[in-house]
Structure 1
Amino acid sequence: FLYDDSDFYQLLLRKVIASEAAGAYGDGGGGGGGEGGGSNGVGAGPRDLALLRAARQRNRKVVDRRASKGRRLRFTVHDKLVGFVAPVPEDTPPALNELIAGLFGNSCPTHA
């Protein structure tokens, strides 16, 4: 499972851009070298983190957790057959057996 924190960084980037546009930096803009200062208003507060959690819960996919590892049967329903007729067994006439016996020889060798 990969942790996706892209929306957190997008929020931070928006705050940096908004603070630069408002002139929140004391060095005349630029934004370079701001690695050690915590007074630039970029940090995410508890309200921002709560907004991020709420956004993640809204975007969560609906996944059936029990469907993995073969615990759920997967099948597709077929359409009804159109024009299907079950085979009707035909009665064989008794003379047919005599005909076949006469054609192929009804002589069974006897074991003596």
Structure 2
Amino acid sequence: MNLQISGHHLEVTASLKEYVVNKLERVLRHFDQVISVEVILSVDKSKEKAGRQNASVTVNLKGKEIFVEKCDENMYAAIDKLIDMLDRKVMQYKDKVQDHGREAIKHHQPPPEAEPLQ
């Protein structure tokens, strides 16, 4: 798995990088077919959104690409929100891949025997 963490208008410190890696481990333990993960941490410097911390992640899975983006006043809170949403999306995809929309025949109850009419 390739992991790329970058910052836009922000220096990615070792503690910030370690925080992201530790949080991603929680998500990636659910799904072992992860090809690459790209995390972008940025600060919005426009006047109307001054100080907004943005965190976005793109996860390339086998057959699917998942993108999530979250904002907050604090970078660590934005990362927490991002990981929570990513975890939900990965679990949804995993359930969809494994479920196939039907139940196995071995779990079906046999129909009750019909009593003969007299």
The bucket for the TM-score relative to the shorter chain is: under 0.3
By relative contact order (CA 8 Å, sep 6+), the higher-ranking structure is: 2
More strand by share: 2
More helix by share: 1
**If you compute each CA radius of gyration, which structure gives the higher value, 1 or 2?**
1
